[in-house]
Structure 1
Amino acid sequence: MRPLLNALTALVLLVGPFASHNLRAQSAQLQNAPGRRILNLNGSWNYIIDPYENGFYDYRREAFDQSKSGKGGYYDNQKPSSKQETELIEYDFDKSAALQVPGDWNSQDPKLLYYEGTIWYKKSFSLTPKPGKRYFLYFGAINYESHIYLNGKKLGMRKGGFTPIQYDITDRLSSTGDNFVIVKADNTRHADEVPTINTDWWNYGGITRDVFIAETPATYITDYKVQLAKNDPNTLAGYVQLSGEGKAGQTVTLNIAEAGIKKSLKTDAEGRATFAVPAKKLTRWSPQNPKLYPVSLTSGSDAVQDRIGFRTIQTKGTDILLNGKSTFLRGISIHDENPLIPGRARGEGDLRMLLTWAKELGCNYVRLAHYPHNEAMLKLADEMGLLVWAEVPVYWTIAWENPATYQNAETQLTDLISMGKNRASIVVWSVGNETPPSDPRLKFMTSLVKKARSLDDTRLISAALELHRDGSKITVDDPLGAELDLTSFNEYAGWYWGGKPSEITQYTFDIKYNKPVIISEFGGDALGGYHADADTRWSEEYQEALYQNQFKMLSGIAGLRGLTPWILTDFRATRRQHPVYQNGFNRKGLISNTGQKKKAFYTVQEYYRQMAQKYDGK
C-alpha cells in the first residue's frame, strides 16, 4: 500500500492535489504575503481530536472526500436539521473546545503533550467578496500533513510542516459573507517523509504560524526579486511577475525613491518583466549597518511595499567575503521555540527575544535550524543586522531512494528560497544536516544543491556534514563537500566523544577542501544552576570548560571562518529523558529554559568580542 501512496504523493507535489471533486493546485506563492491587505484569522479555533480519523474515513477506511458525493466528513461542518431524530451527527465544532492559532496543540492541553495524529480545526469568518478582487487563504505553516476545506469543499492537501500554504479562494467564498474553514492537521511521523521519523526536536502539531486571507486586484503582483546581480555589485537585477487576467503587456514600476531608482517595465506574454539597473549609490547592508530601503512595486491598481537590503556574499579560497571584505561569522544555532513559554514561537515578540539574545552574545550570524523558520524571523534578522543560515529538514536518515521523498524535500527547499530570496540577511541555503554518506544520499543531496543554485545564484550553498575520527585525527572528506561553497560540519568533542574537555585539544583536523570552514555545531549539556568542577558532566563548569577548550582546538584550523555552536537556548526534545538533568529538554543551550545565562554564554561572548576586534576592528 505504501508504494502506491508514495506515487500519489509525488504526483501531488509535482502538479498539486489530484483533481477529484474539483481540487485545486496551490496558487503561486505571493511574495511578502503578510504585507498585503489581509483579514487576520488568528485567534480561537474550535478543534476535535480524531485519532481514528473518523472525520476523514468511513468504516471501510475509504476517504469521504474521495467518495462519489464528497460528503460525510467533519469538513462538512454538519448541523442537525428540524428532523433531528432521524439524523446521526457525532460531532459539533461549535460546542467543542478551542485552541489558539498560531500555536502548537502540545503546549495548550496537557492530554495533547505527546499526541501524534489528526486534529480538526474550524474557524468561522465574515467576508463578502468584492468585484474585481481576488482572495488567497494563507497558512504560515501546518505540521505536518494538512487537508484544507472551505465551506465544505476541499482546497487541497499539503505535506511539510514549516513552509507557507496558499490557495485562491475567490470563487469559493459565500456570497452572503458567512464562511468557515476547516483543517485536518496530522503530525504523524513517517520514515519516508521530510523530516523522517527520527529527529532531536519536539514534534509540535497543529497550525503553528499565522493564518490570514490576502486581498489583491484581479491582476496582481505575485512574485518579485530585487537583489544585487551575481558578480556585479553595481547592478540591481531581478524580475516582477504578474498573475491574473490581462497580465501580458502591462506596465510595472519599480521605485526605490531613497536611492533615486525608478524604472518602468513591460511584462511579456507570461506576465513577467526583468530588469537590470545601476546601483552604485546603494548603501550596502551589513551587520554593522543593516540598511533597508523602502521598495515599491506598482502595476495598475496593485501596489506592493517591501523593505530590502542589498549586499554581496561570496567565497575566495578560505575567505568569506561580505561586500568584498573578509568576515568571520560569529554565530549561534536557534530553534523556532520560546524556551520560557512551552511551545513553538508564537509571534514577533518571541522571535525578537531570541535574536536579541544572539546580539547580546556578540553574534553577527545565526543558523536557523533544522527547518524553515517563520518569515517574520527573516525580516527581523534583516532589521537587526544578523546574517542567516536557512535550512530544510533533510535530517539524518532520509529515504534517499524514494522519488516522493526527494520531491517533498525539493518542494520545501523551493518554498524556502521563494519566501526568503529578498532578505539580505540570508547568506546560506543549507540542504541538510548530518546525513550519512552513501551513493543514493549523494545523488539526492547533489540534486538539492543543483536545484538551489538554479533558483538563486547569489547566495552560498552548504550542508552540515559529519566527520570521521582516527585516533586524534579528525578527517572531513565527505564527497558532498565538493558540491558546496562552505566546508561545514558538526563535531561534539568533549561531549559525545573525545574524553573530558581538558583532553580535546589533542585533536587535529584534516580538511580536504580549500574552502571556508564553518563549524555548524559543537557543544555540550549543562543544567542551568547546577555547579560542580570542570570534569563533572551536566554542570555549568563542564560546559564552560568544554567551550574554552573547543576554541583552543578549533584555532588550529587555518580556514576557520565561522561558528554556530549548539545552541542558543535549551529546547524541548522527546529523546532527552534523564529525569534529573534533562526532563524532556536538550540542555545544550547557552541560556536555560528559565532565561538564565549559563557560564559558557560569557565564554562565547568573550571569544566573539576578540573575533569582532580582529575582523571588524571593534
Structure 2
Amino acid sequence: MFRKIILTLVVFAGFCLRGSAQETIQHVYGRTVLSLNGPWNYIMDPYQMGYLDYRQKPFDQSKSGKGGFYDNLTGVDKSTKTEYDFTYAPTLEVPGDWNSQEEKLLFYEGTLWYKKDFVMNPDAGKRYFLYFGAVNYECHVYLNGKKLGVHKGGFTPFQFDVSGKLNPGKNFVVLMTDNTRKRDEIPTINTDWWNYGGITRDVMIVEMPQTYIEDYKVQLAKGSKDIIEGFVRLQGTEKSGKVTLEIPELKIKSSYTTDEDGKVSFSIKTRKMDYWSPEHPKLYDVIVTSTDDKVEDKIGFRTIATRHQDILLNDKPIFLKGISVHDENPILGGRLRSEGDMRMMLEWAKELGCNYIRLAHYTHNETMLRLADEVGLLVWAEIPVYWTISWTNPETYANAENQLTVGIDRDKNRASIIVWSVGNETPVTEERNVFMGHLVDKARSLDNTRLIAAALEVEREGYTIKVEDPLGDKLDLASFNEYGGWYWSEPKELPKYTFDIRFDKPVVISEFGAGALGGFHGDEDTVWSEEHQELVYINQLEMLDKMEALRGMTPWILTDFRSPRRQHPVYQDFWNRKGLISNTGKKKKAFYILQQYYKNKTAGKQR
C-alpha cells in the first residue's frame, strides 16, 4: 500500500509541475523594465469579502466576473453602492512585508489586497510581462480588473504575459495576497521564523521583443576546468534563429542556430581563465544576442566537488567558514528590501571571517545571490521543506519540487552557489525518506555540477553523537544540525562528546548555537547572557574540532530575527536571540570567538 501511495505521489507531482511550473525570464534585471515599486494602496480583508460572495463563491468565477475588490471601483456616482475604495486606503511600500510597516499588522495572518496605478504606452511590436520577485504566500493577480492567474510560494519569482492586456495610458494592478499558514503547504504550519506577508520583492513590467532570449546557462562542465557548456533558449514567434554567445575577455564569440523549440546547447573549450573563489571573485562579462534581443550578464567560473572527506573548490581543499542568514533586516525589521540591506548582511559575514553563508530556510532574493558572486561568498541555497511536511500528499510534493526547480532555474549561473539543500531538520520516516529522496534526484537532474545536501538531525547515546539518517546516503555532505550546550547537555560537558558518523563524506555542521540578549551580562552559567553564549561557542568549537572529517560550518545565526515561537517577555519578546549580532546591530561576545576561530582555520583538521 505504501509503495502505491508513493508511486501516486510521484506521478501526480510530475503532472502538477508540468501544469503549474512557470518559466521566468533569466536575468530580469538586465532587461528593459518599468518598476512598479513604491507605495501601493492596501485593504485588510480577514473575511475575504473582496473575493467571496456571501455563499463563499469567488466573484471572479461568476458569470459576470465582477463584484470583487479587483474591480477597483472608485469615483462612483451617488447611486452606486460600494464598501471599499482604494483611493482612500493607506499605503505600504513595495517591496516590503506588511508586518514591519504597520503596527496593527505585526501579527496579521490572512488576506490583504494591494493596488497600484501606473501609466505606460505599450508598443504593439513588443511583448510585456508582469514580474514579481516574491509574494507571500498565495496571491491572485488582476490587471485592469481581469484575472491573470494564481501563484503559491512565498519566496520564488513568477510572471504573467500581459501582452495585449495593457491600456495606453492609465492601468492598475490588484493583488489579493494571503499568508495564512496551512498544513499541506511549503513551508507548513510550524516554523521558527516570522510569517512576513505581502509583496516582499520587486515588481516590474518587463518589455521584450516578439522573439526574445528567455533563458540561458553558461557554466563550466561537470569535472572540467576548460570546457564551458550550457544552452540558450528563445521564446516567441520565431523560435528557430541565430544566437551568439560572447565572453570578450576569453576571446569567445560563437554563433548557433536554435531548433524548432527555440533551444540550442553548446560546449566550448576555452583558454586559461581566472577561476572564481572567495579570495578572487572574478566575474566575466557574458553577452548573449539573438536577431532581436540582447542580454548581458556577469558570470564566474569555478568547480566544486568532494573527494572522500574533502571539499574541493577549483581542485583545492577548502574549509567552509560560514554563518547562517535569514532574509531579514534585524535593525529596521522585516524582509531585506534593498541592495543596501543585503550588503550590510554580507559585510557582517565578511567581517566575521566567512567565506561561506547558508541562506536559510528558503529561496532568497536574486540580488543577494548576485552580491554574493560580487563580494566572494560561497552559498548554501535551501528550500522551505522544514520540520514536518505532509509527506504523502502529492500536491505538497509538487509544490516542494516546483520551488526547488524555480530556484535552481533562476540561480544556475551564480558561481557563489555550491550547495542546493532540499530541506531542514526533517524527521526520519519511510514516507519522508521517499519524499526527500525524490527531491535529491530532482536537484541532480537539474544541476549535476553542484553539491546536494540537507540539514539532518542527530541522535545521542551517552557521550556519542550519532549521524545515521538514511537520507545521508544520497547526499554529498554529512551535514547536520546539533545544539549541544543549549537544547541538550551543559556547555562544559561538550568536549567529552565524540561523533559516530556513518558516512565517509565531508562533515559540514549546518547549525549550532545558543541564545543571548545583546547587552545582557552575567557569569558564564547565566542563561541568556552574552557570557553563556560565548561559553557554548568555545566548547562547541573544541568538540567539533576533534572530527577528522570536519570541513565547514554555518552556526545559527548571523543576527537576531523575529519568531512568534520565542515569547519570553524579558529575554526574547518574539525574537530568536541566537544571533551573533543583536537586533540593534551590536556584536555579541561570541561573534569574536568565532571570528578568531575562522582567522586560524584552514582546510583540513587543525590540532
1: CA distance between counterparts of 2:13 and 2:155? 19
1: CA distance between counterparts of 2:113 and 2:206? 23
2: CA distance between counterparts of 1:548 and 1:271? 56
The yes-or-no answer on 1:554 pairing with 2:544 is yes
The yes-or-no answer on 1:55 pairing with 2:45 is no
Which residue does the alignment assign to 1:151? 144
Q: Which residue identity lines up with residue 482 of structure 1 in the other structure? A: D
Which residue does the alignment assign to 1:22? none
* Residue 514 of structure 1: how far off its partner (Å): 0.3
1: CA distance between counterparts of 2:76 and 2:515? 59
Which residue does the alignment assign to 2:4? none
Residue 226 of structure 2 aligns to a residue whose secondary structure is strand
1: CA distance between counterparts of 2:253 and 2:489? 59
The yes-or-no answer on 1:311 pairing with 2:302 is yes
* Matched ranges for 1:338-353 at <5 A: 338-353=329-344
* Residue 280 of structure 1: how far off its partner (Å): 3.5
The yes-or-no answer on 1:94 pairing with 2:87 is yes
The yes-or-no answer on 1:121 pairing with 2:114 is yes
The yes-or-no answer on 1:211 pairing with 2:200 is no
Which residue does the alignment assign to 2:262? 271
2: CA distance between counterparts of 1:535 and 1:170? 64
Which residue does the alignment assign to 1:112? 105
Which residue does the alignment assign to 1:324? 315
1: CA distance between counterparts of 2:131 and 2:604? 42
Residue 367 of structure 2 aligns to a residue whose secondary structure is helix
Residue 457 of structure 2 aligns to a residue whose secondary structure is coil
1: CA distance between counterparts of 2:372 and 2:596? 22
* Residue 101 of structure 1: how far off its partner (Å): 0.3
2: CA distance between counterparts of 1:11 and 1:454? 14
1:398-441 CA distance string (max 9 Å, x none) = 00000000000000000100111000000000000000000110
1:521-576 CA distance string (max 9 Å, x none) = 00000111111111111111111111111111001111100000000000011100
Residue 233 of structure 1 aligns to a residue whose secondary structure is coil
The yes-or-no answer on 1:584 pairing with 2:574 is yes
Work out whether residues 226 and 270 of structure 2, in 8 Å CA contact, stay in contact via their aligned partners in 1.
Answer: yes
2: CA distance between counterparts of 1:427 and 1:10? 27
Residue 608 of structure 1 aligns to a residue whose secondary structure is helix
With normalisation by structure 2, the TM-score equals 0.96
* Matched ranges for 1:213-362 at <5 A: 213-248=205-240, 250-362=241-353
* Residue 342 of structure 1: how far off its partner (Å): 1.4
* Residue 131 of structure 1: how far off its partner (Å): 2.4
When structure 1 is superposed on structure 2, of 352-361 and 70-79 the one drifting more is 70-79
Work out whether residues 276 and 300 of structure 2, in 8 Å CA contact, stay in contact via their aligned partners in 1.
Answer: yes
The yes-or-no answer on 1:14 pairing with 2:4 is no
Work out whether residues 551 and 604 of structure 2, in 8 Å CA contact, stay in contact via their aligned partners in 1.
Answer: no
Give 5+ residue unaligned stretches, structure 2: 1-8
1: CA distance between counterparts of 2:467 and 2:76? 69
1: CA distance between counterparts of 2:325 and 2:479? 17
The yes-or-no answer on 1:172 pairing with 2:165 is yes
Which residue does the alignment assign to 2:527? 537
Work out whether residues 191 and 398 of structure 1, in 8 Å CA contact, stay in contact via their aligned partners in 2.
Answer: yes
Work out whether residues 44 and 98 of structure 1, in 8 Å CA contact, stay in contact via their aligned partners in 2.
Answer: yes
Please, which of 139, 147, 150 is the counterpart of residue 132 of structure 2? 139
Which residue does the alignment assign to 1:161? 154
* Residue 35 of structure 1: how far off its partner (Å): 1.5
* Residue 68 of structure 1: how far off its partner (Å): 1.7
Which residue does the alignment assign to 1:195? 187
* Residue 186 of structure 1: how far off its partner (Å): 0.2
Work out whether residues 548 and 605 of structure 2, in 8 Å CA contact, stay in contact via their aligned partners in 1.
Answer: no
* Residue 79 of structure 1: how far off its partner (Å): 3.2
Please, which of 12, 26, 46 is the counterpart of residue 41 of structure 2? 46
* Residue 13 of structure 1: how far off its partner (Å): 4.8
Work out whether residues 516 and 530 of structure 2, in 8 Å CA contact, stay in contact via their aligned partners in 1.
Answer: yes
| Distance change >3 Å, CA 446–CA 464, structure 1 → 2 | same
Give 5+ residue unaligned stretches, structure 1: 1-5, 18-24
Which residue does the alignment assign to 2:61? 66
With normalisation by structure 1, the TM-score equals 0.95
Residue 164 of structure 2 aligns to a residue whose secondary structure is helix
Which residue does the alignment assign to 1:566? 556
* Matched ranges for 1:496-535 at <5 A: 496-499=487-490, 501-535=491-525
Q: Which residue identity lines up with residue 485 of structure 1 in the other structure? A: D
1: CA distance between counterparts of 2:506 and 2:13? 36
* Residue 132 of structure 1: how far off its partner (Å): 1.7
Which residue does the alignment assign to 1:483? 474
Please, which of 29, 36, 40 is the counterpart of residue 31 of structure 2? 36
* Residue 14 of structure 1: how far off its partner (Å): 3.0
1: CA distance between counterparts of 2:249 and 2:510? 38
* Residue 145 of structure 1: how far off its partner (Å): 0.4
Work out whether residues 275 and 282 of structure 2, in 8 Å CA contact, stay in contact via their aligned partners in 1.
Answer: yes
The yes-or-no answer on 1:442 pairing with 2:433 is yes
* Residue 165 of structure 1: how far off its partner (Å): 1.3
* Residue 391 of structure 1: how far off its partner (Å): 0.2
Q: Which residue identity lines up with residue 568 of structure 1 in the other structure? A: L
1: CA distance between counterparts of 2:475 and 2:307? 13
1: CA distance between counterparts of 2:390 and 2:366? 28
1:357-378 CA distance string (max 9 Å, x none) = 0000000000000000000000
2: CA distance between counterparts of 1:452 and 1:347? 29
2: CA distance between counterparts of 1:10 and 1:207? 27
Work out whether residues 74 and 86 of structure 2, in 8 Å CA contact, stay in contact via their aligned partners in 1.
Answer: no
| CA RMSD of superposed structures (Å) | 1.7
Please, which of 378, 385, 403 is the counterpart of residue 394 of structure 2? 403
Which residue does the alignment assign to 2:3? none
The yes-or-no answer on 1:372 pairing with 2:375 is no
Which residue does the alignment assign to 1:600? 590
1:13-69 CA distance string (max 9 Å, x none) = 53557xxxxxxx84x210011211110000000000000000000000001111122
1:316-374 CA distance string (max 9 Å, x none) = 00000000000000000000001010111111000000000000000000000000000
Work out whether residues 13 and 411 of structure 1, in 8 Å CA contact, stay in contact via their aligned partners in 2.
Answer: no
* Residue 178 of structure 1: how far off its partner (Å): 1.3
| Distance change >3 Å, CA 415–CA 295, structure 1 → 2 | same
Work out whether residues 390 and 426 of structure 1, in 8 Å CA contact, stay in contact via their aligned partners in 2.
Answer: yes
2: CA distance between counterparts of 1:106 and 1:161? 15
1: CA distance between counterparts of 2:566 and 2:336? 20
2: CA distance between counterparts of 1:263 and 1:342? 48
* Residue 12 of structure 1: how far off its partner (Å): 9.6
1: CA distance between counterparts of 2:138 and 2:450? 30
Q: Which residue identity lines up with residue 535 of structure 1 in the other structure? A: D
2: CA distance between counterparts of 1:385 and 1:455? 24
The yes-or-no answer on 1:459 pairing with 2:420 is no
When structure 1 is superposed on structure 2, of 163-172 and 308-317 the one drifting more is 163-172
* Residue 279 of structure 1: how far off its partner (Å): 2.4
Residue 556 of structure 2 aligns to a residue whose secondary structure is coil
Q: Which residue identity lines up with residue 541 of structure 1 in the other structure? A: E
* Residue 10 of structure 1: how far off its partner (Å): 6.8
1:492-515 CA distance string (max 9 Å, x none) = 00000012x111111110000000
Work out whether residues 266 and 273 of structure 1, in 8 Å CA contact, stay in contact via their aligned partners in 2.
Answer: yes
Work out whether residues 550 and 604 of structure 2, in 8 Å CA contact, stay in contact via their aligned partners in 1.
Answer: no
Q: Which residue identity lines up with residue 62 of structure 2 in the other structure? A: S
